[in-house]
Chain A
Amino acid sequence: MSFTDNIDVAFETIDKDNLSVVRESALTSFKALGLPSARHEEWKYTHIKTKLPETLRLAASFELQVASKLKYFNSIKGTKLVFINGDFSAESSVILAQSGLTVGSLKENSNLYPEQFEKYFNKATDISKENFAALNTAFVRDGAFIYVKKNTIVEAPVFVFHIYDNASADVFTQSRNLIIAEENSDITIVEDFQNSTGEKFYNHVSEVYVGRNAEVNYSLLQLHNPNTTSVNYVEARLERDARYHITTVTLDGKLVRNNVNAYMDGENALATLNGLYIGKDANHIDNHILVDHRVPNCNSHQTYKGVLDDGATGVFNGKIFVQKDAQKTNAYQSSKAVLLSDEASMNSKPQLEIYADDVKCSHGAAIGQVSKNELFYLLARGIDKDTARGILTYAFANEIIAAIKLPELKTYLDEKLKQRLNITI
């Protein structure tokens, strides 16, 4: 039995809202697509069907006593949007008002900004192909709406916290962001999924529009508990001269699948897609990356690093498409994984499809152990083997965190990484 068996019944329970028309077409798409089987080319190494809950529990309005006690990144000044069990919590959120900036609940703002929703909502994802994006669109609950008007430099970072309490076990959440950065604007966004124990199923979609000469710095933190199953779409469209930097940090999870896609719609745009993942025990972490160069003169960099221990498995699939008009494209991809045990495994697949002739594309994939020479250098100074391996693994992984611009976030993640790798230096 699967939740898809009674999906219509579940759909009936959703209140009519401004998104209803889109929802219905998405439901139709999803029913046609179904769930990806193990034969699906893009899901070959990530068998998700068996990991999903049997029922699609939508009503997750639990009483949350901890809400008033939430304290996240208290030391950092910034807007904090808090979603508790999928619903926007105005009382837990802190919004630093600034002219030209709208931040808040997607659901509420869909009524207030019909024009923007018409223009941008569900325009970056392809629900005719993407099973989970279709499901998400049909059952969207809530998420962040971040709208930055032309020429607005957002002063403080915007944090989006998704918090699920322990009572909300077995909830299959459908969260959704819409982020619009208009011409010449600038914003930093940090999105964080936090939970403690219990089975959790996230299906998350984030659509990002980076306007002409705008800049978006976006970090997605997945500091999950080991029972979390999480599918994410982060879909960005970049206009001329846009700059977009996305970093995903996955430190745990039963099954995590990230689809990080960037579409270069305007010339001279720059996309940096970075990712770090640490898998232990039976963690399975899958990063599917796509950069689609559709116009000339754009730059893209993908840098993914992973550490896999115990019986953890990793997947990297990095696509670079260079369409025939996209001359002078500069696209770079690197995927490196360190395996710390014989049982850990990694499946890495670069996929370059290049139809233009005057381009610079490079890719490299490496799967290995910590370097013997580096290890010997540390041992020769008296550092024991376990510590030395820990130090080298940390050094390898830390490169991704070191590239994050927000200093407080860097410090925070550095600590989390050390904890995860059990090292103290």
Chain B
Amino acid sequence: MLEIKNLHAKIGDKEILKGLSLKVNAGEVHAIMGPNGTGKSTLASIIAGKEDYVITAGEILFEGKNLLELSPDERAREGVFLAFQYPVEIPGVSTTNFMKAAVNAKRKHHGLEPIVAKEFLALMNEKRQLVDLDKSYLSRSINEGFSGGEKKRNEIFQMAMLDPKLAILDETDSGLDIDALRIVADGVNKLKNKHNAFLVITHYQRLLNYIVPDYVHIMYDGRIVKTGDKSLALKMEERGYDWIKEEIGV
């Protein structure tokens, strides 16, 4: 589904990704762990299409298509979803109106008529219950005044609404208490099927008890330096990153 080959990217003069390769197939869950500032969010942003970066080498294929040639909104309509590490507050736009615009944009892209009001409301209701988000949040401005946990649940709600092929979760678990973490993880598990894939960025092994990854990648200094199964995450948590540094010899 997703194939990243030898990706190099910089922002300004600063090189952040330094030859990153990754392959994700449908039906898989991949976890990415790594120290702060290593480029995890950068990778997520580049897949989603944020314009601040310059790709100096490498390529990204999504279902065989050159992803880097598509605009961010086209990527989203094709089925790429990013749950933001820091979801943006947008005063004055309700989540309902926002989601209606997003759902209809995707439908239009796939040659469908706009969703009928009743169907839309039913969909909203179903998906918000998945992440235990109160109805009142949907009529409020996007993320405005939401707690950290509410913002993250809103991300998963949006993901459920848009039913992406590839979902990237950028530290969706950071700052969540255990109840919220379970809610988010349950939501993801319900959406998971053999046609979609998840890329889960996290610092904490605890999330991976709930969302069980097929692969765990360790990212360091703009590259994936080690890949293993879920036991790698446990090892990381026990031993810290110094162990990796030694192993890769820096």
Contacts and interface: CB of A to CB of B under 8 A. Distances in A.
Interface of A: 371, 373-374, 376-385, 387-388, 391-392, 394-396, 398-399, 402, 425
A373 B77 CA distance: 19
A378 B98 contact: yes
Given A380-B82, A394-B92, A385 B76 contact: no
A376 B101 contact: no
Given A377-B84, A378-B102, A380-B82, 6 more contacts: A379-B49, A385-B73, A387-B101, A391-B97, A399-B92, A425-B101
Interface string B11-48: 00000000000000000000000000000000000001
B131 to A, nearest CB: 16
Contacts of A425: 93, 97, 100-101
A383 B91 contact: no
A395 B76 contact: no
Contact of B90 (A380, A385, A392): A392
A380 B76 contact: yes
A382 B162 contact: yes
A379 B88 contact: no
Nearest to A395: B92
B87 interface: yes
The 9 closest A-B pairs by CB, nearest first: A395-B92, A382-B76, A381-B102, A379-B72, A377-B88, A382-B77, A382-B105, A395-B93, A379-B73
Given A376-B72, A377-B84, A425-B97, A383 B90 contact: no
A90 to B, nearest CB: 42
Q: How large is the interface on B (under 10, 10 to 19, 20 to 34, 35 or more residues)?
A: 20 to 34
A382 B88 contact: no
B105 A392 contact: no
Contacts of B87: 377
Contacts of A392: 90, 93
Given A377-B84, A391-B101, A383 B73 contact: yes
Nearest to B92: A395
Nearest to B107: A382
B158 interface: yes
A383 B162 CA distance: 12
Contacts of B77: 382
Given A381-B162, A382-B106, A384-B105, A376 B90 contact: no
Contacts of B73: 379-385, 388
Contacts, number: 80
Contacts of B51: 376
Contacts of A379: 49, 71-73, 76
B50 interface: yes
Which of B72, B97, B99 has the most A CB atoms < 10 Å from its CB?
Answer: B72
A247 to B, nearest CB: 16
Contacts of B226: none
B245 interface: no
A395 B92 CA distance: 4
Contacts of A383: 73, 101-102, 105
B88 to A, nearest CB: 4
Interface string B74-89: 0011000110100110
10 contacts: A376-B72, A379-B73, A380-B76, A381-B158, A382-B102, A383-B101, A383-B102, A391-B98, A394-B92, A398-B92
A398 B50 CA distance: 27
B206 interface: no
Nearest to B78: A382
Nearest to A378: B98
Contacts of B50: 376
A387 B93 contact: no
B72 A395 contact: no
A399 B91 contact: yes
B109 interface: yes
Contact of B98 (A373, A381, A402): A381
A278 to B, nearest CB: 15
Contacts of B48: 380
A384 B51 CA distance: 15
A425 to B, nearest CB: 5
Nearest to B158: A381
Contacts of B162: 381-382
Contacts of B99: 381
A374 B89 CA distance: 8
A382 B49 CA distance: 11
Contacts of B88: 371, 373-374, 376-377
Contacts of B158: 381
Nearest to B89: A374
A379 B49 CA distance: 9
Contact of A385 (B71, B91, B141): B71
Contact of A391 (B72, B93, B109): B93
Contacts of A388: 73
Contact of A382 (B90, B92, B97, B109): B109
A374 B90 contact: yes
Contacts of A374: 88, 90
A376 B48 CA distance: 9
Contacts of A381: 73, 76, 98-99, 101-102, 105, 158, 162
